[in-house]
Amino acid sequence: MSTQARSDTSAPVEVGQAMLSVRDLTVTFPSADGPIRAVNGMSFDVRPRERLGIVGESGSGKSVTAQALLGLTPRDHTTGSIVFEGEDLLTAPQDRLRALRGWDISYVFQDPLSALDPTRTVGHQVAQPLLLRRVPKKEAHRRAVEMLGEVGIPDPARRARNYPHQFSGGMRQRVMIAMALIGQPRLVIADEPTTALDVRVQAKIIDLLYRLTDEQGVAVVFITHDLGILAGLAERVIVMYAGRVMEECSTDELYYRSIHPYTLGLLESLSRISGPVPERLLTIGGGPPAPSRLPTGCPFHPRCQYVQPECRTTPPPLEVPPGGEHASACLRAAWLAERPGELR
């Protein structure tokens, strides 16, 4: 594609080494009832070209984590470190972050209608990251049209002159993706990019993200509440609950051999289009806790069917249990690891 000069401070990354390392990330918001911990000591890596899924329900802290990765959470309330290609984003100056955002790291928002500017043409908005970097207007426009074509907008030269309201939901999401990609980022963070879309459109967006990593070597962090969506796309999955990592492993390990009661419960409660139709769906009782009222000990213990007395007092560490293949934050992970697949 283009030969646009990259920011030259970025060090080349070896394949297999992490391009993004998050360590002990904690985001706290002040509130009338005292500080609310939205993210509580998250640590994870993203490798180049990787497709990482982060799954969690409302209040799990998944979107706040995504915002923190772009330096969009208030700094005085964010601790830990987020090292992107050797540079800590939590201490980098603001203008350095502005240079990175939309260029080296970009973000696809959940709701394209509120993220797009209704008063500017789609072509102009897609070209924006280039215009901000002083790419000549004509060239920027040409590349915006090219990018709209890349993401599957038919007749891109004409559609670039349209406004967001003239696009359907799926097409708007493609516009968002075109905007995220025009700077040729190495990392794309997509926060529920398919949630409001019809299933056939959803599948097309998934295919597009897959193609990106496969053909252009972009790493994608895909954030969602839907384990179904991740199954085909992600190579690795992190399950979040109450601002913490509950389980982290390869996609197959998670879906076929999970060793965390929360993940097992999520998988059981999904309705499916094949297999036997149960009388009742199995459910996890109760609902996710509000970040302002987290229970003591393991945050999942009030809803857990395997709960033990010490779960109420001791938060379980995230570690690989004896006999297990991957990390799970559960005191009974070793017990669950002896029963792979049986509990589903």
Partner 1 sequence: MTTPLLQVRGLVREFGHGPGLVRAVDDVSFDVMQGEALGLVGESGSGKSTTARCVLRLIEPTAGEVRLDGEDVLALGGPALRRLRSTAQLVFQDPYSSLNPRMTVADIIAEGIRIHRPRESSTTVKDEVVDLLELVGLRPDHLTRKPAAFSGGERQRIGIARALALKPKLLVCDEPVASLDVSIQAQILNLFADLRERLDLTLVYIAHDLSTVRHLCGRIAVMQDGKIREIGTREQIYEDPQHEYTRALMAAVPEPDPRSERAKLAARRSAQTTEAGRL
**For binding to partner 1 (CB under 8 A), which residues are involved?**
57-58, 149-152, 169, 198-200, 202-204, 206-208, 210-211, 225-229, 231-233, 251-252, 255-256, 265-267, 269-274, 277-285, 287-288
Which residue, 276 or 322, has its beta carbon nearer to partner 1? 276
Which residue, 140 or 229, has its beta carbon nearer to partner 1? 229
Q: In whole angstroms, give the CA distance from residue 13 to residue 189.
A: 19
CA distances from 145 to 152, 186, 209 (A): 11, 21, 19
Which residue, 60 or 73, has its beta carbon nearer to partner 1? 60
Residue tagged 């009222």 (tokens): 293
Which residue, 36 or 203, has its beta carbon nearer to partner 1? 203
Burial-class residue 280 by CB neighbours within 10 Å (0-12, 13-18, 19+): exposed
Would you say 171 and 91 are in contact if contact means Cβ atoms under 8 Å apart? no
Using only C-alpha atoms, the chain has a radius of gyration, in whole angstroms, of 21
- CB-based contacts of 328-332 (< 8 A; 24+ apart in sequence): 328/246, 328/247, 328/258, 328/259, 328/260, 329/244, 329/245, 329/246, 329/247, 329/260, 329/298, 330/246, 330/247, 330/259, 330/260, 330/261, 330/298, 330/306, 331/298, 332/261, 332/306, 332/308
Which residue, 140 or 178, has its beta carbon nearer to partner 1? 178
Residue 342: CB minimum distance to partner 1, A: 17
Residue 105: CB minimum distance to partner 1, A: 23
Which residue, 72 or 290, has its beta carbon nearer to partner 1? 290
Residue 68: CB minimum distance to partner 1, A: 22
Handedness of CA 332, 338, 343, 344 (dihedral sign): positive
Residue 157: CB minimum distance to partner 1, A: 14
Residue 290: CB minimum distance to partner 1, A: 8
Which residue, 134 or 293, has its beta carbon nearer to partner 1? 293
Would you say 198 and 116 are in contact if contact means Cβ atoms under 8 Å apart? no
User: Other C-beta atoms within 10 Å of 288: how many?
Assistant: 17
Residue 171: CB minimum distance to partner 1, A: 12
User: In terms of Cα–Cα distance, which of 242, 244, 247 is closest to 260?
Assistant: 247
- In the chain, the amino acid numbered 46 is V
Which residue, 65 or 78, has its beta carbon nearer to partner 1? 65
User: In terms of Cα–Cα distance, which of 185, 199, 195 is closest to 222?
Assistant: 195
Q: In whole angstroms, give the CA distance from residue 192 to residue 252.
A: 21
Residue 341: CB minimum distance to partner 1, A: 13
User: In terms of Cα–Cα distance, which of 270, 266, 249 is closest to 304?
Assistant: 266
Which residue, 71 or 156, has its beta carbon nearer to partner 1? 156
Residue 173: CB minimum distance to partner 1, A: 13
129 membership: H or E segment, kind and range: helix 122-132
Q: In whole angstroms, give the CA distance from residue 108 to residue 54.
A: 14
Q: In whole angstroms, give the CA distance from residue 247 to residue 109.
A: 25
Residue 223: CB minimum distance to partner 1, A: 14
